[in-house]
Amino acid sequence: MSERLIIFDTTLRDGEQSPGASMTRDEKLRIARQLERMRVDVIEAGFAAASNGDFESVRAVAETIRESTVCSLARASESDIRRAGEAIKPAASGRIHTFIATSPIHMEKKLRMTPDQVVAQAIKSVGWALEYTDDVEFSAEDAVRSDIDFLVRVFTDVIKAGARTINVPDTVGYSVPAQWAERMKQLIERVPGADTVIWSTHCHNDLGMAVANSLAAVMAGARQVECTINGLGERAGNASLEEIVMAVRTRRDVFGLETRIDATQIVPASRLVSTITGYPVQPNKAVVGANAFAHESGIHQDGVLKHRETYEIMRAEDVGWNTNKLVLGKHSGRNAFRARLNDLGIVVESEEQLNVAFAAFKELADKKHEIFDEDLQALMSDESVTPEEELYKLVAMSVRSETGETPHAAVTLIDAGREATVESKGSGPVDAAFRAIEMVAASKAELLLYSVNAITTGTDAQGEVTVRLAKGGRIVNGQGADTDIIVASAKAYINALNKLRGGQKLNPQGESPI
Ligand code: KIV
Ligand code: ZN
């Protein structure tokens, strides 16, 4: 039997450090359930000490997830580690991931600590973490620019202290594959007790080599890869989970390793993360891009029709494409609707929420006869604001847009229980609708992002809109879906406004102590 490669997903932690990708507790829970369904080994659910919101999110994931290990990041400080330990307490299997920087530039300029102090702090940190769980991971931040002899020293000592996983991060995305493999090989050869722990790699994508570097480390003996859905993450992102998993699987002849991942859940996970964070997936992105399995040239099409393997090394259906089977229609009942949501891992918290969602489903089924899983995902994102948080609600709208005329929108909203109708002109119908909504909300929030995507194919597809708003250091993403993209845009704007007004947590970029 081949050896296992552990897949450690950090979409909810490093992924959330992408500018504007902050997620609410409920959004994190939805992604965590999908990661569990995909059979990810470890879910890094957040950084518990970063804020109360982060603590609550990690704790909620720890309470919910049963089949994956739930992990919290913690700096190498007693207070961070105790906060992480409390957050993961309810987990069926919980891990604390503690880290401290080991490169001269970080130790001197950021930590202002001597190498001896760093080693002592690392050892103490592992000890504090062990009070909560025996599953302790240690990372040497900026290992890529750290002195190899110093890394050997730190890792030797944290292994003696009880760390079970040793993570070697390329924090700044500086390495190249041959160098990264050599570093991993040397560490495994030189660190006493190396064979008693799992070696892990965590690569950033600043030079576009995160996946290549991670796989090079795997060839050199790493047995855990830290990665994110769609390669989301700080700056240029992290190694992308889907590429790592499919490379190891497709090139089993090279790697000789197995993962536990159910690859058919990859595309649904990619879509969910893209919807929630508002980060679209580029069409030519490996595995999960819309064109990843599209053949344009006549020669290629001819080849694929004759024998698929002429131009395809993976099967689209193996990674979850084409699974958007027709699920429900106009005549489907409440129980079928509830059961399908269940299958998709969407938990409806109350009968009242189910009723609201079911009414929205019926309305959609009237406009669009074929309802796919993606439509249901979008519909439930629309309904993700709880009634208590729903300060504004769209009642009706009309837009007028004609060549040579200034577009005009009239929007009827419920504002804290009272109905108001407002009208505005704008440079386009979306602009007019947003201006009209602002006349009621007066949020003065800055619009950071507006994006539209078709959820499924065909001109009757729903348009899914993401609106990212910033105000007073907070950044929120609002989503809206509708067969009419102007209505979808208004819903997304209102959804973002409700999140701004609600008790959503702050953007982690603004408060994270990393
Ligand atoms: O990039 C990095 O070094 C990290 C660590 C906290 C593992 O994200
Ligand atoms: Zn990182």
What are 123-172's pLDDT values in tens digits?
999 999 999 999 999 999 999 999 999 999 999 999 999 999 999 999 99
- Total domains in the chain come to 4
- Asked if the model's pLDDT at residue 507 lies above 60, the reply is no
In degrees, to the nearest 5, what angle opens at C-alpha 296 toward C-alphas 280 and 455?
30
Which of 337, 353, 382 is the last residue before a domain boundary? 382
Which atom number of ligand 1 is nearest to the Cα of residue 14?
8
Given a cut of 70, whether residue 438 has pLDDT beyond it is: yes
Q: 50-54, 59-63, 264-268, 377-381: which range is least confident on average?
A: 377-381
End-to-end CA distance of the chain: 40
Ranges assigned E (strand) in 102-155: 136-141
Q: Best of 13, 72, 73, 172 to mutate for ligand 1, by most ligand atoms within 8 A of CB?
A: 73
* 73 within 8 A of 15, measured Cβ to Cβ: no
| H or E segment and range at residue 203 | strand 198-203
Report whether residue 28 contacts ligand 1, using a CB cutoff of 6 Å.
Answer: no
Which pLDDT score, from 0 to 100, does residue 260 have?
Answer: 98
Asked whether residue 247 carries a pLDDT value surpassing 80, the answer given is: yes
List, in sequence order, every residue forming a beta bridge with 447; answer none if it has no partner. Answer: 469
Q: Which domain holds residue 307?
A: 293-322
Q: Report which protein residue has its CA nearest ligand 1's atom 2.
A: 171
Tell me what the pLDDT averaged over the chain comes to: 91
Per-residue model confidence (pLDDT) at position 514: 46
Q: Show the beta-strand stretches assigned E in 119-175.
A: 136-141, 165-170
Torsion over CA: 276, 279, 280, 283 (sign):
negative
pLDDT of 308 reads: 84
Q: Quick one: pLDDT at residue 259?
A: 98
Residue 469 belongs to some domain of the structure: yes
pLDDT tens by residue, 317-373 = 999 986 555 678 888 888 888 888 887 777 787 888 888 889 988 888 888 777 887
Residue 122 is assigned to a structural domain of this protein = yes
| pLDDT exceeds 90 at position 300 | no
CB atoms inside a 10 Å sphere around CB 377 = 24
Read off the tokens for 414: 């419920």
Say yes or no: 243 and 224 in one domain.
yes
Residues 124 and 155 in one domain: yes
pLDDT at residue 343 in the model = 76
Question: Counting ligands in written order, which one lies closest to the CA of residue 50?
Answer: 1
Higher-scoring residue by pLDDT: 335, 222: 222
Classify residue 286: in a domain, yes or no: no
Helix (H) / strand (E) containing 446? strand 446-454
| More confident of the two residues 222 and 297 | 222
What is the C-alpha to C-alpha distance for residues 348 and 328, in angstroms, rounded to an integer?
Answer: 18
Q: How confident is the model at residue 510 (pLDDT cuts 50, 70, 90)?
A: very low
Query: CB–CB of 168/199 below 8 Å?
Result: yes
pLDDT value at residue 391: 86
Which bound ligand lies closest to the C-alpha atom of 234? 2
Q: What pLDDT is stored for residue 48 in this prediction?
A: 98
Region 208-222 average pLDDT: 98
What are 364-391's pLDDT values in tens digits? Answer: 888 877 788 778 877 887 665 555 567 8
pLDDT exceeds cutoff 50 at 314: yes
Mean pLDDT of the 492-509 span: 71
Q: Are residues 314 and 332 in the same domain?
A: no
Residues 304, 261 share a domain: no
Same-domain status, 377 and 391? no
Q: Are residues 132 and 156 in the same domain?
A: yes
One domain, residues 121 and 226: yes
Position 512 pLDDT exceeds 50: no
Give the global pTM: 0.83
* CA 514 to ligand 1: nearest atom: 6
- Among 71, 77, 171, 227, which residue has the most ligand 1 atoms within 8 Å of its CB, making it the best to mutate? 171
Which ligand ends up closest to the CA of 141? 1
pLDDT in tens, 401-435: 999 999 999 999 998 889 999 999 999 999 999 99
The two three-digit tokens of residue 243, written as one number: 């590429």
Contact 397, 486 (CB under 8 A): yes
Are residues 178 and 83 part of one domain? Answer: yes
Q: What proportion of the chain, given as a percentage, has pLDDT over 90?
A: 69
Do 35 and 90 contact (CB within 8 A), yes or no? Answer: no
Please tell me the predicted confidence (pLDDT) of residue 386. 57
Cα-based torsion angle of the residue sequence 22, 27, 33, 38 in order, rounded to the nearest 10 degrees: -50
Do 111 and 248 belong to one domain? yes
Residue 326 confidence (pLDDT): 60
pLDDT of residue 297: 76
Distance (Å) from CA 204 to ligand 2 centroid: 6
For residue 288, being part of any structural domain is answered with: no
Query: Are residues 111 and 20 located together in one domain of the fold?
Result: yes
